[in-house]
Every structure is written in C-alpha cells, then in structure tokens.
Amino acid sequence: MTGLSAIELEDVVKEYHSHGEVVQAVKGVTLDIAEGEFFSLLGPSGCGKTTTMRMIAGFEAPSKGLVRLHGQDVTNVPPNKRDVNMVFQSYALFPHMSVWDNVAFGLKQRKTPQEEIRRRVGEMLEIVDLAGRDKRMPRQMSGGQQQRVALARALVNRPRALLLDEPLGALDLKLRQAMQIELKRIQREVGITFVYVTHDQNEALTMSDRIAVMNDGLVEQLAGPREIYERPATPFVAGFIGTSNLLTGAATGGELKIGGGRVLVPGHDGDVTVTVRPEKITIGTEEPGPGRSAVRGTVAEVVYLGTYNSYAVSLADGAEITVFQQNVHDATATAERGDSVWLSWQAQHSYVIGS
Amino acid sequence: MRRLTPYLLALPSWMWLAIFLVVPMVAMASVSLQTGNAIDGYAMTFSFSNYGDAIGRYSTQLLRSLLYGGLATLAMLVIGYPVAYWIAFKGGTRKSMYLFLLLLPFFVSFVLRTISWNFLLSDNGILLGTLKGWGLLPADFHVLATTFAVIGGLTYNFLPFMILPIYVALERVDPRVVEAAQDLYATRAAAFRRVVLPLSLPGVFAGVLMTFVPATADPINAAILGGTSNTMIGNIIQTEYLTNLDYPTASALSFTLMAVLLVGIFVYARALGTENVLEAAAR
C-alpha cells in the first residue's frame, strides 16, 4: 500500500424500482481502496457486493453518492471511459473471436499501434501461460484456460485497477486453489489494484490485503484478514467467516457463567456476545485449572475430517459448541459420542463482539 | 431388430418426402422437357429448348422478381433488425407479448391480409381519399399498381420471418459480453459493430433465406397490389399453368427459378462465411 487512493466510494446508494417498490441493493457504502491493494468485497449472494463493483466499473450509476477513481469523480462516466477493467464471473469472452483477438480487443479500441499490440498481447499470453494457444476459439478451451484469457484480456490494457467478479467460481477446487496463488502472483508482478468480489471466505482470507465484509447492502466490517477472523466486529461477520461459536449472556465481574462453567471476559460487564474459534478450544475429561475459560458439555457428534476431528458439544443450557482438534498423534478421537467433557480455552481467545 | 428401430421410425417421414416431394419434382422435371399443346396433350421429347424459350420470353419478369425480392428482403432487414434488437434487449418481461403481437396478423389468411392493403391504399380509400380530400395529395396520386406497392406488400407479408430468426440470435447474446466490450473501451456503437452484429449474423442469414426465397417466388402481392406492369415470375408460372395450360413452360420456369435461387443462396452462403459464423455463435 502506498497510501494513495485508487478507488473511493462516498456513501454510495443503489436503488432499484421493482413492481412500484423501491429496493435498496446498496444502502450507503463508503470505501477507500489504496493503490496496489488486493481488496476483497466478501458477502453472501444478494449482499450488494456485485452491485458495488458494477458501480465502480460504470455499468450501474449510483442513486446517491460519489465514485472516484484516482481522485477524479467518475460517478457519471460510462464504462468505456474508465481506466478500470473487469474480469466477469462467466468470463464473457467474445465467442466469435480467437484468444488473440479477445486479448487484443481493448488495445484495438484504444487505437494502439499495430506493433505495440502484437508485443503486448504476446507478453500477456506469456504471463498467463497461454502462449501458442492464441489461435484457439474460447469454446475450444477449458474453464481454467478461459479464465486466464479473461484475465489477460483485462490486464493487457494495464488498467489502474482490475475488478474481478467471482472469477474462480466456475472452477473445481484444485484449479481454484492453483488460480488463487496465480492471481496473487500476477497481482504482485503487475502491481495494480485488484478489487475482488467473492462469497468464498477462504479465497478472501488467502489473497486479500483488506476485506470489506458486506451484508444486506452495508459494509459490516472493513479490515485485514487476520483482524476479520480474530476480531469479528458483528455476529454476522463472526458467523460468516469460518466456523464460530457464539455465546451470549450477562457478564458479572469479567466472567460469563454458562454451561456449568465460566467464560472469562476481563473488563466486561452486562450483556455480551462472545466468539471463540473452534480450533482454539481444547477438549478433555479433567476440569481445567483457573485462568482458562471452561465449560461442561456432552459430545453430541464426532466427525473425522482427515487433518482434524470436529466435535459438536452440547452444553447444559442447550447451546452447542464446535471444536476442531488436530490429528497430531493418531486418528483416534479423544472423546466419543455421549462422553461428558470439559472444553477450555485461553482467556485471550474469547473475543467480545463489538469491543 | 433393435438396430432397425430408428430406421423404421423414420420410415413414414421418408415415405412422405418421397411421395410428396421427390415424385412431383421428377414429374415436373419430365413435364418441363415435353412438347405438344393443351388440346392434343404433351409428349416427352427431351426438348431442353423449353428452358431457353421460357427464359427468353420471360427474362424481364424473372429479373424483376429477383429485384423485387431482393429489395423487399433489404427493406425487411432494415426494418426487422431494429425490431428484433428492441424486443431481445429492451423487451424485458413483455418479450412474449411483443412476439405474439408480431405474429397476430398471421391469424388472418395471407390473401386477405394483402387484399386489406388493397382496401387501405386504394386511390380513393380511407387513407389516400382522406388525404386527397384535405388537399394534401394531388387528385391523381396513387399507390396501388406501382412497384412501391408490390415491394411494400412483400415486405409487410414476410417481415416476421425476418424478425424471428434475428430475434432468436440476439436473444442468445450474453449481455455481459456486450458489457465486456464496453469495459474494454468500446463505445456503444463499436460494441454493436464488433460484438452484437457478428453474433447475430446467423440469424440474419436465416432471416434472409426465409424471406428472399418466398418473396421472390410470390405471385399474390404482384397480382393484388401490382396492377399490370409489375408482373413477377410467380404470376407467369401461375398463368402458364392454370390459364394457358402450357405445362412445359410453367415447369421449366419453376425449375429455372429454383436453380437461380439455389445458386444465389450458395454464393451468399460462401460470401458470408456462414459456417464460420454459425460455429462461432454456437460456442
């Protein structure tokens, strides 16, 4: 991050009229995306992330608010006059053009000299590892290859920002993971701002410098991946990112009495919502000593997941807690279904939402 | 037995084609080579000169038909493409209603539709009569019995056959592909020219085929709207067959027309590179 703003949204609202009703897809989003940043818009479908991106690209005009690219107000500038390019969810390659013509399209529209087009398209196909396939038609290529053509078609124009709308959604898991690493590498190589729309929290956590978690047309939290994972600002974020245990109750003297035990929340009193990540919790039969949060429960389910076991533990008051335990020693479970167990974790691993 | 099943299932259609397409074609071909007259009958003489004679006698009408058919097709393309475009991209949830409206005139017979034009455009009818009454048109102004009326009638009658295939092709164009072009610095016009138009060409190709062939061969519009000086080849064939009972000339003209149209289509397909276009649009 150089600190310069690449993209700024100022209180952007997008309303649609449908059957005489006004529907707000985006309800007031303010973002400041820095030059060279890998920025993700993360959220479930219908949360407004794609609409937000389309307003950055220029396909939708905001009902209210401002969009700035590199300090210039582009709120009402059409997409063909904006120095950003987009990689579409379904790639949207031109089906009647070869790979080469697809990639050269933007340069030709900008009346780039023939010689330069040849050089830049060649280089770009090299980068995305498609050299020698330039005469193929899109329909003759696999999903992963089409994906790379779409990426090359956008990047060859050296836009000041690249917008990616769930670009890996259609790929299978292996390819998706490979492309994640690939995208990150390309982003580092070309050094331009990436705005990445996804509903896949792993994707967002792996690649992003910062993430805006969106829900119902609003940004719930805007922070780095670690911060979002460890310190979710709202119950929605805690639930959406990874698996999370939510415990609610009234705390007295920095302690929340729950499930025949205690959750340590130093410095908090009154109603609190606490999250604990499943992998932070230790499962055992002995009551742990003081200084740790500890609750009692009964194992309701054990699921073997290869690298770890997942336990669902029911507390006395009906709450259910998920625990992940790494299979460090062997594959046998520490506890069986029906066992009465103690769950404990370090005080620092309880995070009081909104604090 | 199982292997034969598909062939057995196809048998009725093959029989149908054989009886109602191949047999009449062969019969017509043989009639076109006969000589004789309507009273004594016709006999096979392998008289290939029938073709030369027929073409020589009616070359004017043959060329006129191709010209009228071509102009009407052009007019249909110019009128029909925007309509198809509008329905495909701006029709929203009412697309089916617009298509239904487009086909609504087809619930009335072809001849009646054309006669209603006659009624509408007659020299002192509702339209021209009223305008003349207001002094907006000279008293001797007329539309019927002109080239314009015939081409207008052809254009009107075959227009939906142009619009529908173009609509189908445009409907299949992913709006995101158009957005991608605009995202890549293309203006709306450039996005249309470089992306939408090429992707709709298979529809244009089909539309031209489906309208040019019947419009060129059509006898009804010229008969009802054209008066005496706009006779097309369809009218000649009809007259030779039904009035003059000169079957060989009528058959020879029919085959000539068919050959000309087939060659035309072949050249057209080559020029447009349909195979490539179709392949590309098929993805």
Interchain contact, B179 vs A110, CB within 8 Å = no
Counting one residue from chain A and one from chain B, the pairs whose CB atoms sit within 8 A come to 71
Among the partner-chain residues A57, A89, A95, the one whose CB lies closest to the CB of B281 is A95
Interchain contact, B183 vs A86, CB within 8 Å = yes
Pick from A119, A7, B173, B272: nearest CA to B181: B173
**Domains of chain B, each with CATH number or no CATH:** 57-282 (1.10.3720.10)
| Residues of chain B found within 8 Å of residue A80, distances taken between Cβ atoms | 182-187
| Residues of chain B found within 8 Å of residue A106, distances taken between Cβ atoms | 184-185
What pLDDT is attached to residue A331?
A: 53
| Residues of chain B found within 8 Å of residue A111, distances taken between Cβ atoms | none
Interchain contact, B281 vs A110, CB within 8 Å = no
Task: Provide the residue ranges of all domains of chain A, joining segments of one domain with +.
Answer: 5-236, 245-352
Please report, to the nearest 10 degrees, the dihedral formed by the alpha carbons of residues B50, B51, B56, B62 taken in order. 130
Amino acid at A74: V
Residue B273: band (very low, low, confident or very high) from pLDDT cuts 50, 70, 90: low
Alpha-helical (H) ranges within chain B are 5-17, 23-31, 49-90, 95-103, 110-121, 126-133, 147-171, 175-183, 188-191, 197-217, 220-225, 233-238, 247-272, 274-282
Q: What is the residue-averaged pLDDT of chain A? A: 90
Among chain A residues, CA nearest to B175: A92
Residue A191: band (very low, low, confident or very high) from pLDDT cuts 50, 70, 90: confident
Q: Which residue has the higher pLDDT, A125 or B275?
A: A125
Helix or strand (DSSP H, E) at A343? strand A340-346
- ipTM for the whole predicted complex goes beyond 0.85: no
Alpha-helical (H) ranges within A201-337 are 201-207, 225-230, 235-240
pLDDT per residue over A71-88, tens digit each?
A: 999 999 999 999 999 999
| Residues of chain B found within 8 Å of residue A85, distances taken between Cβ atoms | 183-184
**CATH-assigned architecture of domain A245-352:** Beta Barrel (2.40)
Segment A122-127 long-range contacts (CB within 8 Å, at least 24 positions apart): A124/A152, A124/A155, A124/A156, A125/A99, A125/A100, A125/A152, A127/A152, A127/A155, A127/A186, A127/A189
- Tell me the average pLDDT across B45-72: 94
| Residues of chain B found within 8 Å of residue A98, distances taken between Cβ atoms | none
What pLDDT is attached to residue A95?
A: 93
Interchain contact, A109 vs B186, CB within 8 Å = yes
* Residue linked to tokens 């009638």: B153
Residue B275 has pLDDT above 70, yes or no: no
Residue B124 has pLDDT above 80, yes or no: yes
Instruction: Please name every residue paired with A179 in a beta bridge, in sequence order, or none if there are none.
Output: none
Pick the CATH number of A5-236 from 3.40.50.970, 3.40.50.300, 3.40.50.620, 3.30.1540.10: 3.40.50.300
The answer, for A139 touching chain B at a CB cutoff of 8 Å, is yes
Residue A224 has pLDDT above 90, yes or no: yes
pLDDT per residue over A86-128, tens digit each?
A: 999 889 999 999 999 999 999 999 999 999 999 999 999 988 8
The answer, for A105 touching chain B at a CB cutoff of 8 Å, is yes
